Structure 1
Amino acid sequence: MPPLFLDVPELVPDAIVDLRYAGSNNFVGTRVDGYEANRALLTRPAVEAVARVAADVKRDGLILKLLDCYRPARAVAHFGRWAADGADVATKAAYYPDYHKPELFELGYIAGRSSHSRGSTLDLTLVHRSDGTDLDMGTPFDLFSTLSWPASVEVSEAQQANRRRLAAAMEAAGFDPFFMEWWHFTLKGEPFPDSYFDVPIR
């Protein structure tokens, strides 16, 4: 791992680290290759930007929950093998009820390369500091559906407002959103725009 990487909690100590691919609570249904520890790693510029986000939302009594950060390239390959296994549909109802597996690639929900592997992309949500409950964003993380699109009007006005609160804090800190996932953001001017790292998370 390049020395420019560090753990997000080093600068954001109250962030909740809940890397979904380090366990079985994800669309693959098992721990994903390369996730050997529940560590939220990002490049230092990205972590510094996340710290600004944390300071922003703290004013509203909120903290950050990190769902995915740096993702080894071998994890992306694991997603590809999972998508090619037509017999494994155990998580279809929970994560991709409206699609067949090949469509997830065709529609862009899963890609052969991920910006996460460059170290400056993260998936996250907001949590109430008072009781630890997630803000209601209208869909769970990694639901492959138009309902998860940040601009969707198929979710309630309150849920749309929660998405806008997250996006506003992220964009103010220098992140670009992804139009298909309310939880996904990439740092503008990321330090490794053409590199896809494959060091396991340990």
Structure 2
Amino acid sequence: MNKLLPYVLLIVLCSCKQKEHKSEDVVDSESKSKEIEVIDSVSQPVLEKTFKSFEGLADTTFVRLADFSDDFAYDMRYATENNFLKAKVYDCAECYTRVKTAKALIKANDTFMEKGVKIKFFDCYRPNSVQYKMWAIVPNPQYVADPVKGSIHNKGGAVDITLVDLEGNELDMGTDFDFFGKRAYHDNLDLPEEILVNRKLLKETMEAYGFWSIRTEWWHYNLSAASNDRVANFKWECPD
């Protein structure tokens, strides 16, 4: 027995060291796991989109609105077949306006967002060639401007819009965009109170930033300062 004692002690010591070693591995593993969790939970720096500046641009320059703000919503109907033409007349969905129109829209939208809503676009600048197509279908100046004279849409100073909440849900305005009928008239007050309140919010806010409406379309707004601009017919480039 005495001869075996050194061997027994050696085995016990080795066993203890192995247990200590295993214990250290577990601690290291837990430590690394916690370290990874901490790293994963750290807020990564948000890379803010760099928007273009209006500095150095003439008020009459045409610009792509999305390059200057991402606070708008879009449903560009003439880039789809969901419009009164029943035809896609824009190669791709883009919203262009003159610089002065863009500035006014951004200011108006800031005010809307303070109230929990924002602008959604159906149409912005419209090439004059498209105006001719519209006139061929609806040759009625109550609804479509004569393309010979041109629409303020063709000048980059008009927009067709509605309001959505900050989750993107449209406010009830009583009709769809491009509804040709009295239910879309501003002076039609025979509508539910909610619709009248929504239209009033849209109209009064837009007017506060230099826009004016037309009687027959709750969605249409012209910038007063753009009335004398020239009619344009350029078509924007589409992304590849």
Fold match, TM over 0.5? yes
Cα distance in 1 for residues equivalent to 2:141 and 2:127: 22
1:161 lines up with 2:216 in the alignment: no
Distance 1:162 1:4, change over 3 A: same
TM-score, normalised with respect to structure 2: 0.69
Cα distance in 2 for residues equivalent to 1:120 and 1:110: 15
1:123 lines up with 2:157 in the alignment: no
1:198 lines up with 2:233 in the alignment: yes
| Structure 2: 5+ residue stretches without partners | 1-57
| Structure 1: 5+ residue stretches without partners | 84-103
Bigger Cα Rg: 2
- Which residue of the other structure, out of 34, 46, 63, is the alignment partner of 1:6? 63
Residue 158 of structure 1: CA displacement?
A: 0.9
1:74 lines up with 2:129 in the alignment: yes
Structure number with greater CO (CA < 8 Å, separation at least 6) is: 1
CA RMSD of aligned residues (A): 1.7
2:117/2:163 contact within 8 Å kept? yes
Correspondence list, 1:22-101, <5 A: 22-32=79-89, 35-81=90-136, 83=137
1:139 lines up with 2:175 in the alignment: yes
Q: Which letter does structure 1 place at the counterpart of 2:79?
A: A
TM-score, normalised with respect to structure 1: 0.82
Q: Which has the higher helix share?
A: 2
Cα distance in 2 for residues equivalent to 1:67 and 1:40: 9
Residue 194 of structure 1: CA displacement?
A: 4.6
How many residues are matched? 176
Runs of 4+ more than 6 Å apart? none
Q: Greater CA deviation, 151-160 or 47-56?
A: 151-160
Q: Greater CA deviation, 12-21 or 47-56?
A: 12-21
1:11/1:48 contact within 8 Å kept? no
2:73/2:168 contact within 8 Å kept? no
Aligned to 1:86: none
Residue 107 of structure 1: CA displacement?
A: 5.7
Query: 1:107-145, CA deviations, whole angstroms, 9 ceiling, x for partnerless residues?
Result: 62122232100111101010010x311000011100001
Aligned to 1:173: 209
Cα distance in 1 for residues equivalent to 2:135 and 2:207: 30
